[in-house]
Amino acid sequence: MLPIYSSTSNFQLKADHSFISKNALFELYESFVFYSYNGIQDLAYCTEVHLSDDPYVTLYSVQYEEKFRHLRIRDFDFIYGQSFEELRKKFIV
């Protein structure tokens, strides 16, 4: 008999009672993200999502104009993505 694997439907973030769902994690790829990582908040573009039991992302920071690699999802206080169209609707009146 083959082993049965179950997937985690969400991943815990560093902040208390904060989670990101597996679907929301998938949607970060190639989108703009607002996040807080070790207390530093920024807007970035997500260039890579590595899926595993301990997933991580690679972000290109808008503020710092620098690429940050291997940022573990569990170390974020919060992270959520927005498409370019969603951002444009917010900032263009």
DSSP state of 88: H
Q: How does pLDDT run across 10-65, given as a tens digit for each residue? A: 899 999 889 999 999 999 999 999 999 988 899 999 999 999 989 999 999 988 99
pLDDT score for 6: 58
**Residue 73, burial from CB neighbour count under 10 angstroms (0-12, 13-18, 19+):** buried
Give me the long-range contacts of 44-49 (CB less than 8 A, separation at least 24): 44/68, 46/81, 49/25
Taken in order 68, 7, 20, 32, is the CA torsion positive or negative?
A: positive
84: left (phi over 0), alpha (psi -120 to 50) or beta: alpha
Q: The domain that contains 54 carries what CATH number?
A: 2.30.30
* The total number of structural domains that make up the chain: 1
**Structure confidence at residue 1 as a pLDDT band (50, 70, 90):** low
pLDDT score for 43: 93
| Residue 26 located in a structural domain | yes
| Residue 93 located in a structural domain | no
| Residue 13 located in a structural domain | no
Q: Are 80 and 15 in contact (CB under 8 A)?
A: no
